[in-house]
Structure 1
Amino acid sequence: MKHAIKTLLLAVVAATGIQQANADDIVIGYQTGVDPSKVAQADGAYEKAIGQKLDWRRFNAGPEVVTALASGDVQIGNLGSSPLAAATSRKLDLVTFIVSAQINAAEALVVRNGSGIDKPEQLLGKTIATPFVSTSHYSLLGALKHWNIDPTKVKIVNLNPAEITAAWKRGDIDGAFVWSPALGEIKRDGRVLTDAAEVGKWGAPTFEVWVARKDFAEKHPEVVSQFAKVTLDAFADYQAHVDQWNADSEQAKKIAKLIGANPADVPELLAGSSYPTAKEQVSPALLGGGTAKAIAGTAEFLKEQKRIPAVLKDYSPYVSAKYIQAQ
């Protein structure tokens, strides 16, 4: 665990003196979580709006995206609130320009049928997998804290979603806190012990964002603004036609193909998060102030858990609503 955190923090610290991105070379770091904007990605809507080719690169978890952003290999990336808090606490020059999902049931702690885990205290001594420094990791630690379970008494192992699916099939792990498509797979012969929505009510909410390197956003604000607009348009289309985005829909098939999921799982996974509208994005609850406070709260928890060394006084420099207001 310490090695994973150290690797992430070293990548952030090394972010100085990085090459600046050219508008002709835009690399987007995305993850496998299910959300409506995956349809826009599959349809090439981002390229059409921005007017040039985009290089989409898939990552297993947020810390990997942070490393790529820090190196300059990625200009725009999708992160969860936990890796975002870790990165900004180390002053990586990022700007959060849209909240892409408020995570509810889209991430969950699933325990294997027959594992002997029917209640939280039975997690003691069991092997639970999660991607370290991810939103799922944060939720897992938040749940253990709520249950008054010492995390050192649980064997928590660092596996990315694909590795979790493989380990689950081999019977190597007793449970996992993770997102789609792994979540859909392990739920087939497991049961949900808790999810991100419940952990959020216990004081550890999680969310996902799109961020851009500040040097890129300042040089190409129109690209960031168009990226936000396409994302919000996808959210609006989903919200207006939820019933039509069923397992047999083209939307479900496109999302499933893009992330390697089963189309039958997509509607439930989509329903597992909420996707803020443009009005909600720029409100005081989110980009207008609330998101910065939420990052600070996440950072406080990470420091308490000895995942990061210090918390900044103010995270507002890492959040901006202007790319949505400019539309």
Structure 2
Amino acid sequence: MTALGPLPSGFEAALARARSAVEAELCRALAAEPGPVAEAMLYACEGGKGLRGFLVLEGARLHGLSEAQAIPAAAAIEALHAYSLIHDDLPCMDDDDLRRGRPTVHRAWDEATAVLAGDALQSLAFELVCQAGGSPEARLTLTLTLARAAGVAGMVGGQALDIAAETAVEPLTLEQITALQARKTGALITWSAAAGARLAGADPAPLVRYGDALGLAFQIADDLLDVEGSAEEVGKAVAKDAARGKATFVSLLGLAGAKARAQALVENACAALDVYGAEASTLREAARFVTARRK
């Protein structure tokens, strides 16, 4: 296997390349599974930014791994992310009708199919991550860290805290929201950023720091879009947090304060990449993209 060659010029091209490769891997993985559940699984994976898969592939490139070695892990995190969105949109959770500019899975099919598609995507994620390249020890570490990032100590735990906050007597403090979002949104982004290093058996610490800062910046950008964006741009309902009276980075810091915090986090993320020099320029562009995006 040869290492990934130079990426197309610019972050947008690199992101598009990664998204295309991940979509092809997911189609390959589900090609032998006809029926509504598999169709709903692929539907849920379509139309996203593909940022998490991109982070996996770019981290792998930094450590000399081939696309063939890394693509199963990149597809795994996008499958797991899609599962989380399907379940998050269900009537028992956020009760959303729109995701990525089209009907949510439980609206396009039904609630039972949506639950099963989400369950199956979670299982597929772990099947895929076990197919990644690298040593058996590296694959074990990658699988274990994904389980922790996705479970009650990570994304699911953060989601539970978010649900509890909706009926809490007192709104969350800034410190509490930061801790919540580091789990709900940040855990999978940090895992994605560090996956390439772990797969290569290298020190993941710089990319963990990068991912931690990137994940919080991403969530602040989401909070800003909920206030400043439109459903047409964002591809999902907006202004929901204010309607529910939820404390967010914007409600606690104000628009200007939230934007300043996001910018500081982007700078922290870029500084974490200093060890990689110019080779990490595309990851630096990714950090700037997170706060400049409109969806």
After TM superposition, is the score higher than 0.5? no
TM-score after normalising by structure 2: 0.31
Greater relative CO (CA pairs within 8 A, separation 6+): 1
TM-score after normalising by structure 1: 0.29
Higher helix share: 2
